[in-house]
Amino acid sequence: MSVASASIHGLAYYKPRLEATFRLFCFPYAGGSALIYRQWANHLPRQVEVCPVQLPGRGHRLREAPLNRMSPLVEVVAQQIRELSGQPFAFFGHSMGATIAFEIARLLRRERAPQPLHLFVSGRSAPQVPETRTPTYNLPEPELIEDLRRLNGTPSEIFDEPDMLNVMLPLIRTDFEVVQTYAYEDEPALDCPITVYGGLQDQEVKRENLNAWCAQTTAPFRVRLFPGDHFFINANRELLLETLTRDLYEHRLL
């Protein structure tokens, strides 16, 4: 598959760069899409080719059935990575996207395929930390909507548009099911560096659970905290991208 056709199928808002030396694959949070990363290419160095991954069931992949378990979702997305792994690359994922990125990195290692040079994970507890909260993906609709309001990641105007909300809720349920049924399996730590980003006011992810990602790498590890709640990557996008740029240079990825 060519880069152009891969961008139509697996990626969205993808802008090939002839001068790029490095690809950054970006994975969305639950209920989100590649739209989250639409503007990132405008704020990162020209050497970076931003590759926003579009998951099944959203955007131009709306006709594809969304997947409700982590393993098949990782298999589908990993195929897109394999087709574009001719250049050095890294992963960035927020919340659900962090777990997807982590599991794809492990899958590629098992296959002895090209692997990411760096893993940037954001707004997500380390995968080996047991989930103690009650699942919400199967809540009645009013309770699910209330939970979404509490998380503060859904634009408020969507709650006032019943048609839009009816389209979004099944996808959100499915993504929540992916996250809340995920079962971590022990494997050796990765040998790529891991950088963890977190929100100072994030009530969903404890600081110690961010620190726990250190067990998943034998390489350098760092935690960086930003002002904001669980969705600090939207509220503080400029600061995050400035920090990400510094991290890319510091780790000699550019």
Q: Per residue in 123-153, pLDDT tens?
A: 999 999 998 889 999 999 999 999 999 888 8
DSSP assignment, residue 189?
P
Q: How far apart are CA 175 and CA 109, in angstroms?
A: 25
**Rounded CA separation 5/8 (Å):** 5
pLDDT band at 47 (very low <50, low <70, confident <90, very high): very high
Task: Please list the residues that pair with 24 across neighbouring strands.
Answer: 50, 90
What pTM did the predictor assign? 0.93
CATH fold of 3-129+185-250 reads Rossmann fold (3.40.50)
Average pLDDT over residues 13-30: 93
Provide the pLDDT for residue 157: 81
Computed over every residue of the chain, the mean pLDDT equals 92
Tokens of 43: 């704020």
Residue type, 73: L
Whether 156 sits among the annotated catalytic residues: the reply is no
Catalytic residue of the set 2, 5, 71, 95: 95
Give mean pLDDT, residues 1-28.
76
Segment 78-109, tens digit of pLDDT: 998 888 878 999 999 999 999 999 999 999 99
7 has a pLDDT exceeding 70: no
Q: Percent of the chain, pLDDT > 70? A: 96
Instruction: Give the Å distances, CA to CA, from 114 to 107, 131, 150, 170, 192.
Output: 10, 31, 39, 34, 12
Name the band, by pLDDT with cuts 50, 70 and 90, for residue 5.
very low
Residue 67 and residue 127: Cα distance in Å, rounded?
Answer: 19
pLDDT digits (tens, 9 = 90+) for 187-204: 999 999 999 999 999 999
Q: What is the pLDDT of residue 9?
A: 62
